[in-house]
Amino acid sequence: MGRYTGPACRLCRRVGEKLMLKGTRCATLKCGMEKKTKSSGQRPARRRKVSDYELRLREKQKARFTYGVKEQQFRLSLKRLRRLRVCLVIIWLYCLKRRLDNVAYRLGFAESRNQARQMVQHGHV
């Protein structure tokens, strides 16, 4: 089972929202999204029109990054759900929320989902 090992704050910046991937640090002023208030460079970043595709892609990425699901895992789970011919998005989100690492995180056993995932892998939960 693979997992993303790169910088977590980069994922937040990519989707433009706080995904709370680093536990308590996310609530402090050390958060990367809090620090970076304006874009780099002399000129302010231009507002561009967000396409429908980009909007949907961003929402999918947000869910993937939040729950720590890889693209391959994501595709396989959707493929399985397609066979059932049900409303995919709701069921998929329901499946993600029922994962043991997410439950451990929501119960407060861990500070972040990554930490909860490690606890599950090490057999503490």
Q: Contact residues for ligand SF4 (CB under 6 A)?
A: 8-9, 12, 18-22, 25-26, 31-33
In angstroms, give the least distance from the CB of 62 to ligand SF4. Answer: 12
| Residue among 33 and 63 whose Cβ is closer to ligand SF4 | 33
Q: Residue 93 is encoded by which pair of tokens?
A: 């989100």
Nearer to ligand SF4, 26 or 104 (CB): 26
Closer Cβ to ligand SF4, 62 or 99, answer by number: 62
Helix, strand or coil, per DSSP, at residue 30: coil
φ, ψ for residue 117, nearest 5 deg: -60, -45
The Cα-based distances of 16 to 13, 26, 75, 101 in angstroms read 5, 14, 24, 24
DSSP code string of 32-53 = HHHH--S-SSSSPPPP-PPPHH
Smallest separation, CB 83 to ligand SF4 (Å): 35
Alpha-carbon distance of 19 to 96, in angstroms, equals: 15
∠26-30-33 over CA atoms, to 5°?
A: 65
Task: Tell me the closest approach of the beta carbon of residue 80 to ligand SF4, in angstroms.
Answer: 30
Q: How far is the CB of 108 from ligand SF4 (least distance, A)?
A: 17
**Token code pair at residue 37:** 């208030």
**Of 25 and 99, which has the nearer Cβ to ligand SF4?**
25
